[in-house]
Structure 1
């Protein structure tokens, strides 16, 4: 049986992925986060809430016992340090499969006016740190997949298309529910997209910025 460790389990995408995993798979879930009292177990037979710091290798190693897949939904200015801790812990515990949420623009792959706007919005410490974290993952020798969503919204829809590591990014927006669906799909297909970095966007949303911004 698949055991999934969700790092940053209180995040909105992570919570949507959690719901989809409970509904559509028989996976066991480890819900790893700081201040674990923020989450309540929904299925005591399949879930365990784990209080820990994703920047602390010892916390991560303890949580990774018996894990098949690590899904990292982390954020913050210390994202590069978290990436290093995750990689080190996975190597120590012999866990190979990693799904890592990043952001669009880390390869300067967003074209035109939208790319310029994205830089203006995210260059202040955000894109450089997320790019650095992605480099840690890409040089880790783990079986990783990076996901780079477009700008996120909370629409109740699953509607997305994928670009790959060396493709020009398409579209300006995507729902968090769509990103969660791709995470679940990858968990269910553990040999797919290994070593790739997937851009996710809603089709036909090209423009200078998200329509709702």
Structure 2
């Protein structure tokens, strides 16, 4: 049985991932978030809930004990959180990290969509780039996942791109990102030390369709 620590467990992608993990795997989940009451209605003998902040080194270290995989689905101080995750994983001997980041941090989006995206969210991306650099500079078995604009479509439909290539597409469903996370939990060697873009196929355009 795989033990998975989910950081930022009340996030929207994380919620989909929790549902898929409980329904499609036998994984034991530790849900880590700042306000445990937000998940108080989640009842399962395979779930434990830990209240804490990723910026709290001691509490985070305790939560990492006896885990196999850390899946981080965070916002806020991305650089500080990435530093704490790496530091505590190295202390506890944990190796496998799945970290949700953001697309556009490498100026990898071509064409008019890339220009539009930079205007809309470019100012928010530097901390995400710093977090990715911290993780890639570690010795962890990481996978960084960079989704584009997210939808709540009830679908699993995605393709992936590598860091070295251009980003493709404009949107992807949160459930699709969660499905990729679950695949990596089930197959810990999948996409190790890779930095992936994820998108719904055939969604190229000058901006996301829901904003046209």
- TM-score normalised by L of structure 2: 0.98
Deviations 1:129-188 (A, max 9, x none): 100111011001100000000110100111000001111100000000000000001111
The unaligned stretches of length 5 or more in structure 2 are none
- Secondary structure in structure 2 of the residue aligned to 1:212: helix
Distance 1:176 1:102 in 2: 13
8 Å CA contact retained: 1:29, 1:47? yes
Runs of 4+ in 1 over 6 A off after TM superposition: none
- Secondary structure in structure 1 of the residue aligned to 2:125: helix
Deviations 1:29-66 (A, max 9, x none): 00000011110263432000000001111111000110
What's 1:63 paired with? Answer: 63
Distance 2:43 2:163 in 1: 37
Aligned-residue RMSD, C-alpha: 0.9
| Residues 95/41 of structure 1: CA separation in 2 closer, same or farther (3 Å cut) | farther
The unaligned stretches of length 5 or more in structure 1 are none
What's 1:85 paired with? Answer: 84
Distance 2:106 2:159 in 1: 19
What's 2:190 paired with? Answer: 192
What's 1:118 paired with? Answer: 117
Q: Does 1:141 align with 2:133?
A: no
- TM-score normalised by L of structure 1: 0.97
Distance 1:146 1:18 in 2: 19
